[in-house]
Amino acid sequence: MQKIIAINCPQEILLGLHLDADQFAETVKLQAAIALFRDGKLTSGMAARWLNIPRVHFLLKAMQEGAATLLQNNEDDFTRETSLL
């Protein structure tokens, strides 16, 4: 089941960003997905499905645009990644 969330946005914000309402909605959705992923509240797979893009594309966007990191460089990440070898 999908839910639609409405956000009030003053016209001057859209004009200032040079976006229409649909473009703004996609920008907000992308930024929300990146922030939730970066905060550990959403997996990269869930975020990618929400945005309807391949997971690798989401990860690239999250790293380039959202300063997200894939690994925290700690013992848990090392163990998880080396167990896949």
In a domain, 5, yes or no: no
CB 3 within 8 A of CB 25: no
Give the domain extent around 33: 12-83
Q: Is 8 left (phi over 0), alpha (psi -120 to 50) or beta?
A: beta
In a domain, 6, yes or no: no
Report the pLDDT value the prediction gives residue 80, as an integer from 0 to 100. Answer: 59
Report the pLDDT value the prediction gives residue 85, as an integer from 0 to 100. Answer: 55
In a domain, 4, yes or no: no
56-82 pLDDT tens trace? 899 888 888 766 666 566 676 566 556
Pure H helices in the chain: 11-17, 21-38, 44-51, 55-66, 75-83
Count how many domains the chain has. 1
27-63 pLDDT tens trace? 999 999 999 988 888 888 999 999 999 988 998 888 8
In a domain, 1, yes or no: no
In a domain, 7, yes or no: no
